[in-house]
Amino acid sequence: MSNNMELIDALNQIVKEKGIDSEVIFEAIETSLVTACKKHFGSRTNIKVTLDRNTGAVKCFKQRTVVEVLEDSVTEILLEDARQIDSHYEIGDIVDEIAMLKDFGRIAAQTAKQVVVQKFREAEREILYSEFIAKEKEILNGTIQRKEGKNIIIATGKIDAVLAPNEQIAGEEYRFGERVKVYVVEVKQTPKGPMVSVSRTHPDLVKRLFEQEVPEIFEGVVEIKSISREAGSRSKIAVYSKNPDIDAVGACVGQNGYRVNLIVAELGGEKVDIINWSDEPHEFIAAALSPSKVIAVIPDMETGSSTVVVPNHQLSLAIGKEGQNARLAAKLTGWKIDIKSESQAEEEGFFSTTQFAEMFDETGYTEGEHYEEDEYYEGEYYDEEHYEDEYVDDEIIDEEDNKENS
């Protein structure tokens, strides 16, 4: 009895620590003992095993069905014989007969131990899987543990996550013991436990970082409409607020660029352009080509393509190095974008010089252009060096051009 109580006490203690349903363990032990008893009595014998949840007492029963005519003595018992055991039996009832098995106590103990170990492993795997499947499409904080071939193994506390080569940012160094944030791409259950695949290149990593750092996004006041990303180099993010009193871009940037700088630092210096989303194609496309100014956007609703005209001196800025700015703008907006300089557009007959002049307002911006000078300069701190090199000089030139035009 004491050994049985020790088993129950040990089970209850482990169940409490591991958070496993005790009934699952008890039922598994009973099922395994049924299998062990069948090996002794024969596979055709109907066996029932009970494990008392309070005392730990284990009993084994042969089960036979009460019949009027006996055809199989292994699985059946005559009514008259059954009534010698209990007078209340009727045809079709099941008779439980205590089965005396040599060394049953030792078999029960060994079986219980094996089952407990196996079930705890299965339950732990299931608990881990349930915990991590809930984190799919979310950010995990981890520590770089080791390299396995080209894979980076990241410790997340209870389980190691795998950062595959195609999910690593090109040129980013992963040093042992360094803390890193990763995006959970997929969680799969395997015989060895859950396998967590993570990414540093996924566009939604940027989205989740903004949700963490910008309360207005987390609370739903500001909405992220779309993201385009070339990991390690540049990202563009379009944001929107239904509340006219909330500056969506300003909320994401933060005071003196504090919020966006935290995200840029986490991404290893990756440049981030934050723009206002618009349901008007010409406004959205123009904004997406930031930091370049746009003279005109001619969208073709049927083909989903648009022609964009920019000042002559900003053509290279609009296109970007190796076409990156235009490529990211196209991904962000979902529009095909063909960029032309002012001169090219005039030569190809899009507009005349007079029409170009009429399209500029007093400040030198096109009608509907919502990037004001202050917004450009506010944006410099999240890509300061880039804008100083590629935008501020152009801004000065354009101001001079406007003065000449005026």
Is 161:182 a contact under the CB 8 Å cutoff? yes
In one-letter notation, the amino acid at residue 235 is S
Q: Dump the DSSP string for 165-184.
A: GGGSPTT----TT-EEEEEE
Beta partners for 198? Answer: 163, 184
Rounded to whole angstroms, how far apart are CA atoms 311 and 287?
Answer: 15
Contact 274, 239 (CB under 8 A): yes
Residues β-bridged to residue 60: 49
Q: Where are the beta strands (DSSP E) in 166-293?
A: 179-190, 193-199, 222-230, 234-241, 271-276
Residue 32, SS3 per DSSP:
helix
Is 195 buried (19+), middle (13-18) or exposed (0-12) by CB count in 10 A? middle
SS3 12: helix
Longest dimension (CA), the chain: 119
**Would you say 185 and 202 are in contact if contact means Cβ atoms under 8 Å apart?**
yes
Positions of the chain with pLDDT under 50: 1, 353, 357-358, 360-406
DSSP string for 107-149 = HHHHHHHHHHHHHHHHHHHHHHHHHHHTTTTSEEEEEEEEEET
d(CA 65, CA 94): 5
- Report pLDDT digits (tens) over 276-298: 999 999 999 999 999 999 999 99
Residue 7 burial (10 A CB sphere; 0-12, 13-18, 19+): buried
Rounded CA separation 266/261 (Å): 9
117 burial (CB, 10 Å; 0-12 / 13-18 / 19+) is exposed
Burial of 91 (0-12, 13-18, 19+ CB in 10 A): exposed
Measured CA to CA, the distance from residue 189 to residue 300 in angstroms comes to 47
Contact between 206 and 272 under an 8 Å Cβ cutoff? The reply is: yes
Closest C-alpha to 299, from 323, 283, 315, 319: 283
- Distance (Å) of CA 279 to CA 222, 242, 287, 292, 367: 15, 12, 12, 20, 16
Q: Tokens at residue 69, please?
A: 């005519």
CB 76 within 8 A of CB 44: no
CB atoms within 10 A of CB 340: 20
Token pair for residue 148? 């396995």
Q: Cis link prior to 203 (omega < 30° from 0)?
A: no
